[in-house]
Amino acid sequence: MSDPCVRLQRDGKVATVSLDRPAKLNALTPAMLDELEACARTIDADETVRVVVLGGGPAKAFCVGADIHEWSALNPLDMWRRWVKRGHQVFDQWARLRQPVIVAVNGHAFGGGLELAIAGDIRIAAQTAQFALPEASIATCPGWSGSQRLVQLIGASRAKYLALSGERWSAADALGCGLVHEVVAGEALDARAQALAQAMASKAPVALQLTKLLVNAAAGEGREAALEAMAGALSATTDDAAEGLASFREKRGANFEGR
């Protein structure tokens, strides 16, 4: 088996996930999608993790998108099943993690790399970072929510500009339109992301997670699951819920009182 290209580390209440394919500028492969999914599942199941930092590791780029050599030979059905659909599954899983996700963009975030970055909640960019959706230049389209999630962040007009022109935005451009929240010197990026993560991790974790759930729902991200999760959690705290369980165990009719 080849070495993993996505690495997970924990430091107390903060988990750090790093893309680690520097020779290819973190271009995404099917194996990396699997690794990103595995990391998300591990984090979601870990009650000690309160905040997540996602970064580009030792590469000079955050992620330059999907590895063209991995998908260019696929037939149309496999392109849909093994690539576009799979990427959506993984990125949606990251977008809907219960913990806040801070993305540290250390360099180029192009195509699928930009789409991965916007699956996070907060983005901090190095001054040298650049952002682009270059898919049209190779006769394809954004495939992992670049045409959907990005509109929620920066509006349809700016999203069209990026996707139709293929132009690169600087970190300052991205900051000006709200694509990123902070821009720092490259050497300060990791420290700033970790400091913000630690500060967030000191806050009430359930409140953080519920707030993220509410804001995501307002933006159309997992609205149905959010409503059902909150309704289920609220109903589970009632006296009627306790009575319902007791009546089931005791094989008798329930006496609900609306409390």
The 10s digit of each residue's pLDDT in 57-69 is: 999 999 999 887 7
Q: Is residue 91 part of a domain?
A: yes
**What is the structure's pLDDT at 151?**
92
Q: Count how many domains the chain has.
A: 2
Q: Is residue 150 part of a domain?
A: yes
pTM metric for this prediction: 0.89
Shared domain check, 157 and 41: yes
Q: How far apart are the first and last CA of the chain?
A: 56
Name the DSSP class of 96.
Answer: T
Neighbours of 195 (CB within 10 A): 11
**What is the structure's pLDDT at 2?**
66
Shared domain check, 175 and 107: yes
Shared domain check, 243 and 190: no
Q: Is residue 137 part of a domain?
A: yes
Shared domain check, 101 and 145: yes
**What is the structure's pLDDT at 193?**
98
Give the strand pairing for 182-184 and 130-132.
Answer: unpaired
- Residues recorded for the chain: 259
Task: At 120, give phi and psi (nearest 5°).
Answer: -80, 180
Neighbours of 91 (CB within 10 A): 22
Q: Is residue 31 part of a domain?
A: yes
Distance CA 236, CA 232 (A): 6
Q: Residue ranges of the chain with pLDDT lower than 70? A: 1-2, 71-72, 74-75, 78-82
Shared domain check, 212 and 157: no
Distance CA 200, CA 52 (A): 10
Shared domain check, 80 and 54: yes
Pair 124, 103: CB distance under 8 Å: yes
Distance CA 197, CA 185 (A): 18
Q: Which of 48, 6, 15, 41 is nearest to 197 (CA)?
A: 15
Distance CA 119, CA 102 (A): 10
Distance CA 249, CA 242 (A): 11
Residue 138, domain extent: 6-201
**What is the structure's pLDDT at 74?**
66
Task: Name beta bridge partners: 18.
Answer: 7, 55
Shared domain check, 212 and 148: no
| Enzyme catalytic residues | 115, 135
**What is the structure's pLDDT at 72?**
67
